[in-house]
Amino acid sequence: MAHSDIKGILFDKDGTLLNFDESWRPALLRASNEAAKGDEKLAAALLHATGYDSETGSVLSGSIIGAGNTQDIARAWDEYGSHLKGDELIMVLDRIFGAAMEDAVPVDGLEQTVKSLFDAGYVLGVASSDSEAAIRIFLKTVGLSEFFSFVVGYDSGYGHKPEPGMLQAFCSDRSLAPHEVVMVGDNPQDMKMGKSAGAGLRVGVLTGNSSEVDLAPLADAVLNDVTHLSTVLNRQSTRTF
């Protein structure tokens, strides 16, 4: 397809618009400590069981922490012995994760990139496994709320990644066809959602917890970060730019 057909860009948030490890490490440590009620050994076990590498402070690609939503994390931590349970745990996690967005570290060059894409006429949206409230906190914190006309989180009622619902909702809300949309994300689940929804392009970025090896089989292009997105909009490639 001609890339001139692309009219909308749907971004993942964590690891795509913001640096995943720098933004999420403090929040994950705080959340696990609250779930374990101060039991350091249990807190470490909860993190390890859901994809956190304590030695590197990073999160594994495709893991529950790396790709799941708050409900997924809460369900897993409950199974591994969290002292907080059910709705209480979900509420605590959403509170901590939302607060973390006030200190989130955006990808270098994000503001200029978003403004450039907006000025070029693209319709911009965010689809995240975080809560809708947390997404809006992040966009407000980095001063980019006005450029995104659509925001959807795990709790917005359109399903969860890698199901197609979030991208379909973006298309419906913004009067776009799926083939007119680029799905941009750092995780295989983002690419799978793009494929299942019929996105025109699927673009992976390496500012999250996935490698090129993880993303290349599922993406039309893999970029070092979103600042190179305009390159893909001009020509398709499966190599890293």
- Position 236 scores a pLDDT of 45
* CB within 8 Å of 164: residues ≥ 6 apart: 193, 196, 197, 198
pLDDT value at residue 61: 86
Helices and strands (H, E) in the chain, number of each type: 11, 8
Q: Which domains does the chain have, with CATH numbers?
A: 3-19+106-234 (3.40.50.1000), 21-100 (no CATH)
Calculate the alpha carbon distances from 93 to 38, 65, 72 in Å: 15, 12, 11
Closest CA to 91 of 136, 161, 31: 31
The 8 Å CB, 24+ separation contacts for 76-82 are 76/49, 76/50, 77/32, 77/35, 77/46, 77/49, 77/50, 80/45, 80/46, 80/49, 80/50, 81/42, 81/45, 81/46, 82/35, 82/36, 82/42, 82/46
Taking a C-beta distance cutoff of 8 angstroms, is the pair 126, 151 a contact?
yes
User: Is residue 231 over pLDDT 70?
Assistant: yes
Residue 240 has pLDDT above 70, yes or no: no
DSSP characters over 198-221: T-SEEEEESSSS--HHHHTTT-SE
CB 54, CB 47: distance < 8 Å: yes
Q: 180 CB contacts (<8 Å, ≥6 apart)? A: 5, 6, 7, 8, 171, 200
CA angle centred on 100, ends 96 and 106, rounded to 5°: 155
Using the predicted structure, report yes or no on whether residue 110 has a pLDDT greater than 80.
Answer: yes
Instruction: Please report, rounded to a whole number, the percentage of residues in the chain having pLDDT higher than 90.
Output: 88
Percent of the chain clearing pLDDT 70 (strictly above): 95
Structure tokens at 12: 């993942």
| Mean confidence (pLDDT) of the chain | 93
Q: Are 208 and 14 in contact (CB under 8 A)?
A: yes
In this structure, are residues 110 and 228 in contact, taking their beta carbons and an 8 Å threshold?
no
pLDDT digits (tens, 9 = 90+) for 49-94: 999 998 888 898 889 998 899 999 999 999 999 999 999 999 999 9
Six-digit token string for 168: 């379909």
Give me the pLDDT at residue 237, please.
37
Res. 225: pLDDT tops 80: yes
Contact 134, 101 (CB under 8 A): yes
Structure tokens at 66: 């790396």
Q: What is the pLDDT of residues 149-204, one digit of tens each?
A: 999 999 999 999 999 999 999 999 999 999 999 999 999 999 999 999 999 999 99
